[in-house]
Chains A and B, each alone.
Chain A
Amino acid sequence: MKLVDAYLDYVLTEGRRPATVYAFTKKLKMQEAAFYQEFSSFDALEEKVLKTMTEEVIQSLTKSEEWTGFTAREKVLSFFFALIEKLKEKRSFLQWLQAQTTDTDLKPAYLKGLKHAFEQMADSILAKGIDDQEVKKRGKLSDKYTDALWIQFLFIYRFWLKDTSSEFEKTDEAIEKSVNLYFDLVGQSPLDSMIEFGKFLLHNRPF
């Protein structure tokens, strides 16, 4: 995609956005309207880049041979690994984008498209996990499972942006450990058994 490549090149060389869409297209010797045919703004372009990458990852993952045999835990692990691996292609761009946002901003605009695709994927994996009883349904709390996974991804994503270990090994470790923790929490846990037993005692007071 010519526009996207040109935009990334501009941003990464200049370290800032073009002043206006007009200035940007002029440099490319294009009509301004050609830009608006594809994107409504620079924001939209940035968002689209990440969204496309995410969709590509999801497509290649779900097509892969081992996917259907995987448990929900393994699916999420694969998803995280593959997504981060894919994002590596545009690491400098992402680091630049992150530098434009504040650390407290949990919903940076450029991640909106990625987030949407991510949540759809997470929803479907978790729903299957609930069917297979790998993930425990816990009333209203279950509705927050996807949100929790997103927060976790955001953590991993930021961790990776700052990771300086060789081959980003630390990020691999972070994914492995945090996703395992996540599934230990959403799966049947001692807490569930405690609550069950508590309920039982409440209804069957022995004394």
Chain B
Amino acid sequence: MALREEQDSIPTGKVERAAKFVATGARIGGNYIKHYAKKMVNPETSREELHRDNAEDIYNSLSQLKGSALKVAQMLSMDSGVLPQQYVDKFSQAQYQAPPLSAPLVIQTFRKAFGKTPQELFDKFQLSASHAASIGQVHQAEKNGQKMAVKVQYPGVAESIRSDLKLVKPIALRMFSLNEKDLDKYMGEVEERLMEETDYRLELKRSVEMSEACKAIDGLLFPRYYPELSSNRVLTMDWMNGFHLNDFLATNPSQEVRDRIGQLLWDFYDFQIHKLKAVHADPHPGNFLFQTDGRVGVIDFGCIKLIPEDFYFDYFALLLPEVIDNEPLMIRQMNKIEMLYAHDDAHTRQVLVDNFIRMTRLLGQPFRHNTFDFGDKAYMASIYVMGEEISKIKEIRNSKESRGSKHTLYINRTYFGIYSMLHQLQARVNTGQRYWRTPLLAALEA
């Protein structure tokens, strides 16, 4: 499709990597051979089936790694705009399919944390989990007439994350074909976030802070948290009703409700990124509970990315048409966020700059209009097509160096999560309230 000459945001780093993952992942499974063999017998065999097989292979090997690998799978599953639908479906299961803690282990965890069994601590406590969370599971409980959700963490998660990541590393090296040093840069960032996620006390503190900071946004719902019923491995909050995204969509919400929800999510993230400079970096559908009246419950503040001030100004300047339409300025910003290196040769440099500008223009389209229709299939498809195209450019494919500061990892993930959710919601969003332009422009002058 023809690209409109428009602007900015979100560098290609994550896109390339995800697209590479598509290609290399397929090689890992060896499913192409199967695909072509089948195709010789039956020309009708679809590529969809091949994608499905591949996703299954990769998913299966990752799912055996539990904990942190599950998180990696989740991170990949975020990029619905980039990965074929079959991958997304398969990876989305990641958060629902963690190995369960046995009832005795749940009791044991409570004994250690509180010196009491959950039955003693709550008026009612369901020993069988109501659903899995990525590094634990959620139980329903009741105390003083209040229904509560109690998240219980697997034992030893924090300690096994490091070794899990070591297991993921060789797979990731092949998937993203990066050199080890650059991969370590990203893995370090992931490890840091994951370690934070295993600390439920920290999550409790942040959840309370974030819900306090965001309570002014009308329509967002936050559960109440209970510090006295929480420990480093147990987190208790009010039980929240609502639908997960897929179930919510199945209720056929009206366009009006979809738009309202889309707007709410958009404003919520704008506020976090530009005002709080701390963002709920896990905009996974599983972390939101949608209400039929258009309100949204936000649960799970385990993954918060703090945005350093310097990086904020360097990176989000890419949202400004004044930057994206000005190539020298663009190159300056690319250098700042480690998209370009001083030692790049002129040819590589030009290829990277051209493609980065192309990608940023495309991904930044919502920031150039006053309203944007995220339901636009052609738009999402063009992101995917461009991801594929870029991954085939040999200067990029053969680059063993990482492109993009480590901070971009979770920021990109956040944006892909938002785009993907808004797309699934088919929401039309008013993106015109760009109150953050003035400080960004001022910083650019400085």
Chain A residues with a Cβ under 8 A of chain B:
65-66, 70, 73-74, 77-78, 81-82, 85, 165, 167, 169-170, 172-173, 175-176, 180
Contacts and interface: CB of A to CB of B under 8 A. Distances in A.
A188 B159 CA distance: 34
Interface stretch (B19-27, B106-114, B361-369, B377-385): B106-114
A78 B156 contact: no
A60 B408 CA distance: 54
B103 A81 contact: no
A173 B67 CA distance: 13
Interface of B: 101-105, 107-109, 111-112, 119, 127, 154-156, 159
Chain B residues touching A, majority SS: helix
Contacts of A169: 155-156, 159
B107 A165 contact: no
A66 B102 CA distance: 13
B430 to A, nearest CB: 48
Contacts of B104: 70, 74, 77-78, 81
A173 B156 contact: yes
Interface centre among B102, B112, B119 (most CB of A within 10 A): B102
A172 B103 contact: no
A65 B156 contact: no
The 7 closest A-B pairs by CB, nearest first: A77-B104, A78-B104, A172-B155, A169-B155, A81-B108, A169-B156, A173-B156
A74 B103 contact: yes
B102 A167 contact: no
A35 to B, nearest CB: 35
Contacts of B119: 65-66
B159 A176 contact: no
B105 A66 contact: no
B105 A73 contact: no
Contact of B105 (A70, A165, A170, A172): A172
30 contacts: A65-B119, A66-B103, A66-B107, A66-B119, A66-B127, A70-B104, A74-B102, A74-B103, A77-B105, A78-B107, A81-B104, A81-B105, A81-B107, A82-B108, A85-B108, A85-B111, A165-B156, A165-B159, A169-B156, A170-B156, A170-B159, A172-B105, A172-B156, A173-B154, A173-B155, A173-B156, A176-B101, A176-B105, A176-B155, A180-B102
A89 to B, nearest CB: 13
A77 B112 CA distance: 16
Chain A residues touching B, majority SS: helix
Nearest to A177: B99
A72 B119 CA distance: 21
Given A85-B108, A172-B108, A77 B102 contact: yes
A73 B111 CA distance: 20
Nearest to B108: A81
B271 to A, nearest CB: 37
Given A172-B155, A176-B105, 12 more contacts: A66-B103, A70-B104, A74-B103, A74-B104, A81-B105, A81-B107, A165-B156, A172-B108, A173-B154, A176-B101, A176-B155, A180-B102
A159 to B, nearest CB: 13
A173 B109 CA distance: 11
A173 B102 CA distance: 11
Contacts of B102: 73-74, 77, 176, 180
A165 B156 CA distance: 8
Contacts of B156: 165, 169-170, 172-173
Contacts of A65: 119
A74 B105 CA distance: 9
A125 B359 CA distance: 63
Nearest to A76: B104
Contacts of A176: 101-102, 105, 155
Nearest to A180: B102
Given A65-B119, A81-B108, A85-B111, A70 B155 contact: no
Contacts of A165: 156, 159
B66 to A, nearest CB: 11
